[in-house]
Structure 1
Amino acid sequence: MNVIDTWLIASISNVPIHSQGFTHIVEAIVSAYLSKGVVLVALLWWVWFRPEGAEGPDGEAVRRHNRELVVIAIASGLIALAAGRLLAHNLPFRLRPMYEPALRAFYPEANVEEPVLRTWSAFPSDHSMLWCAIAMGIFLASRPVGIYALFHAVVLIGLPRIYLGLHYPTDVLAGSALGIGITCVMNARAIRTRIAAPILAFAQRYPGVFYGAAFLLSFELATQFDELRVLAHGLIHGMSHAL
């Protein structure tokens, strides 16, 4: 454990908030999709349809720019999620702090026992990578709303995972920085327009198919593809038994 983690964990443990009631609230926040991805995905839809600046002679250009930002935010989030998994698999394994015997006294007795958490490395936090990437995309479209989106990603997604011992502080800090960095790089005009152009053209030509697919993608993104991962795990497990 590095110096930053040692200092932050000790500082958090000195705050007298480890009551059972507060822990139940934090568990609910960590478990609820509403407090994770649903709100931020809803804000992406707001950016897509926002009326501000969409009227007048430059309205079409403003609307297209907003929609490019939504496409890039989602693409950045997906890249961040994939990059987080790749880093976790290829970097040295880091056991989550809640499973470290020497650190148990620093964390509340939380009901977040999931077998997969023991086998998935803690660094970096893929939740922070994904949702900070999305939040940064919202920030680029609207600074006031984006400030809230970043606040939401840090306070309602990142901090509860530190409090319960799902991640070290540096897992969340690194994940947040990587997610924001990916979105900033992807927002370079040459990259943004190249990626967004075919998607926006498809949306204009086949709106029914596009919005149906967008709804499905929004659902899976908001739930962080949990159902697909469970389905894939079940298929792999079933095939291994069949063989």
Structure 2
Amino acid sequence: MNAFDASIQTYIVDAAPASSFFARAVADIAGLALFKALPPLAIMSAMWFKRDPSLEHRREMVVAILSAAVVAFAAGRLSAVFLPFRHRPIYDAGLHLTFSVASATGNPLRLWSSFPSDHAALWMSVAVGIFLVWRWIGVLAILHCVLFICLPRVYLGLHYPTDVIAGAIIGAAVVMLLTRASLRTRFAPPVVRFMERWPATGYTLAFLFLFELATMFDEPRLLAGALLKAL
């Protein structure tokens, strides 16, 4: 545990209101898609449907941003697998901190490395992507990611500050790379044309994709894990 993580983690936990209601509210914010996923995805939907002369460019950007979100999420997950294992703060006795909802945290998290935060990677990529298209709304999206996704996970002891910082850097870097014209124009226009030519099929697939993105592909991952165990 480095001094930077320890000092910030201690400050956030100690500065927060000492009440079970507050802790439960933060846990709900951190766990429910209503708070963490729906606002940025709603903005992405508005970005797709807003009619103006820049419609084609914005739709390409939407495709690139959502693609970056998947890549950033995968990069965060793979990094957690291949980088040196790091226990989560709730299991670090050396911090001498009591996390209010530690008893409700599932044991599987003991086996999953804390570094980096895949939540921060995914949702910061979307927030920075929004910023690249709509500046002032993007600022709000980034603040939403920090306040409703990153900080709650630090407060709850699910991540250290450097976990969410690293995840956010991954997300920002991936979206800035994939939204560059030299890369975006290679894969985004065919998707946009498909959506415009076959809207019924396209929007059905888009709905399914956005649902899975909002839940961070929890059910497919659970099914894949069950199949691997069965095999």
TM-score, normalised with respect to structure 2: 0.95
Q: Distance in 2 between matches of 1:155 and 1:12?
A: 12
- SS of residue matched to 1:44: helix
Q: For 2:111, which of 84, 106, 119 is the aligned residue?
A: 119
CA distance 1:16–1:40, change in 2 (3 Å): closer
Paired residue total: 231
Deviation at 1:70, TM superposition (A): 0.5
Q: Distance in 1 between matches of 2:225 and 2:16?
A: 40
Question: Residues 121 and 167 of structure 2 are in contact (CA less than 8 Å); yes or no, is this contact kept in structure 1?
Answer: yes
Question: Residues 90 and 102 of structure 2 are in contact (CA less than 8 Å); yes or no, is this contact kept in structure 1?
Answer: no
1:238 aligns with 2:217: no
Q: Which residue of structure 2 lines up, in the alignment, with residue 2 of structure 1?
A: 2
Q: Which runs of 5+ in 1 are unaligned?
A: none
For the aligned residue pairs, the C-alpha RMSD in angstroms reads 1.4
Residues 10-60 of structure 1: CA deviation (Å, up to 9, x unaligned): 322331523211101111111211111122111111100113xx1xxxx2x
Question: Residues 27 and 101 of structure 2 are in contact (CA less than 8 Å); yes or no, is this contact kept in structure 1?
Answer: no
Q: Distance in 1 between matches of 2:104 and 2:31?
A: 9
Deviation at 1:90, TM superposition (A): 0.8
1:168 aligns with 2:160: yes
Question: Residues 47 and 67 of structure 1 are in contact (CA less than 8 Å); yes or no, is this contact kept in structure 2?
Answer: yes
- SS of residue matched to 1:14: helix
Residues 101-156 of structure 1: CA deviation (Å, up to 9, x unaligned): 22252532445421221111000000000000011111111112111111111110
Equivalent residue letter for 2:47: V
Equivalent residue letter for 1:234: A
Q: Distance in 2 between matches of 1:112 and 1:157?
A: 18
CA distance 1:237–1:44, change in 2 (3 Å): same
- Following TM superposition, the consecutive aligned residue runs of length 4 or more in structure 1 with deviations greater than 4 angstroms are none
Equivalent residue letter for 1:82: A
Q: For 2:173, which of 169, 181, 184 is the aligned residue?
A: 181
Residues 183-242 of structure 1: CA deviation (Å, up to 9, x unaligned): 111121111111202111211221111111000001000111111111112222233xxx
More deviation in 111-120 or 147-156?
Answer: 111-120
Identical aligned pairs, as a percentage?
42
Q: Which runs of 5+ in 2 are unaligned?
A: none
Q: Distance in 2 between matches of 1:238 and 1:104?
A: 40
Equivalent residue letter for 1:27: A
Residues 37-90 of structure 1: CA deviation (Å, up to 9, x unaligned): 122111111100113xx1xxxx2xx10111011011101000001101111111
Equivalent residue letter for 1:160: P
Q: Distance in 2 between matches of 1:158 and 1:48?
A: 26
1:210 aligns with 2:202: yes
More deviation in 181-190 or 213-222?
Answer: 181-190
Q: Distance in 2 between matches of 1:207 and 1:16?
A: 47
Q: Distance in 1 between matches of 2:48 and 2:103?
A: 38
TM-score, normalised with respect to structure 1: 0.91
Q: Distance in 2 between matches of 1:16 and 1:142?
A: 32
Q: Which residue of structure 2 lines up, in the alignment, with residue 21 of structure 1?
A: 21
Q: Which residue of structure 2 lines up, in the alignment, with residue 48 of structure 1?
A: 48
Q: For 1:201, which of 193, 205, 208 is the aligned residue?
A: 193
